[in-house]
Structure 1
């Protein structure tokens, strides 16, 4: 009986770890390794991870600036196996109170991934540009989309 309880407990922990939404820190690289960007990035988090099509995904970028930012643009591009499949440009101050003071700040972006998004490897490029379209920072990071719709979307249909 003790062995059955132990196995059930292990199975329950496994199930919760697989199905519970999580935030995952991911590796990133600067677009130009030799450039000294005005905004430095300290981390990228993706939630939930793994990403599931048909479910909203959030990308949270932790950043630092050594001078106040009065505004600018955020340019996002997504490539699927090297092919551009999505791009969007938005106002940096749309989700952040501007001017952004010297120090740490975060850039958050959420996107509902369409149910028809093909599974596989993607690369997201994120640029922060000033009013003259000069890059204040530019990073790239990879993420994957699984083969299945989220279980929440399946129950909605």
Structure 2
């Protein structure tokens, strides 16, 4: 009889261990909805997607933003300008050299990748990033906006 109870407990323990593992692993990146700043405008750089890891972002932890794009131009200089809003309030702006975020010259399909660690005091909630890619003459090559969330708890804080 003891061995019968033991056989019933093993699948339950395995299921519990598997559930715990799923909870502790980082969530897979999900595709993020992207909107062009000016609908109908034919931007020289087309954005095909944005990936944010982890999603939701965790305050005080590094997050990676990957923007998949393509162009038929050869872009050897430029800058990436980011504006961040918390709900509807502007909270942050920054600018980066394009060649620090991707291989230059950027041509064909390329990925802009930026890692950012948000301060641990960053409030949880919904944020929107507007990203402009400008060439060396400050001509707008693309302009997109997308949302992201900062979670309420770090997955490590519940362990």
Same fold (TM over 0.5): yes
Say which of 33, 38, 45 aligns to 1:32.
38
Question: How much has 1:5 moved relative to structure 2?
Answer: 3.2
TM-score normalized by structure 2? Answer: 0.86
Question: How much has 1:96 moved relative to structure 2?
Answer: 2.4
Residues 31/3 of structure 1: CA separation in 2 closer, same or farther (3 Å cut):
farther
Q: Note the aligned Cα RMSD (angstroms).
A: 2.1
Say which of 122, 128, 142 aligns to 1:123.
128
Question: How much has 1:95 moved relative to structure 2?
Answer: 3.2
Q: Which runs of 5+ in 1 are unaligned?
A: none
Q: Report the Cα distance in structure 2 between the residues aligned to 1:112 and 1:96, rounded to whole angstroms.
A: 19
| Deviation per residue, 1:124-143 (Å, 9 max, x gap) | 11111112222111111111
Is 2:83–2:92's contact at 8 Å kept on the other side of the alignment?
yes
Q: Which runs of 5+ in 2 are unaligned?
A: 1-5
Is 1:60–1:109's contact at 8 Å kept on the other side of the alignment?
yes
Q: Report the Cα distance in structure 2 between the residues aligned to 1:65 and 1:90, rounded to whole angstroms.
A: 19
TM-score normalized by structure 1? Answer: 0.87
The structure with more radius of gyration:
2
Q: Report the Cα distance in structure 1 between the residues aligned to 2:40 and 2:147, rounded to whole angstroms.
A: 21
Question: Are 1:140 and 2:145 matched, yes or no?
Answer: yes
Equivalence for 1:56: 62
Equivalence for 1:100: 106
Question: How much has 1:2 moved relative to structure 2?
Answer: 4.7
Aligned residue pair count? 153
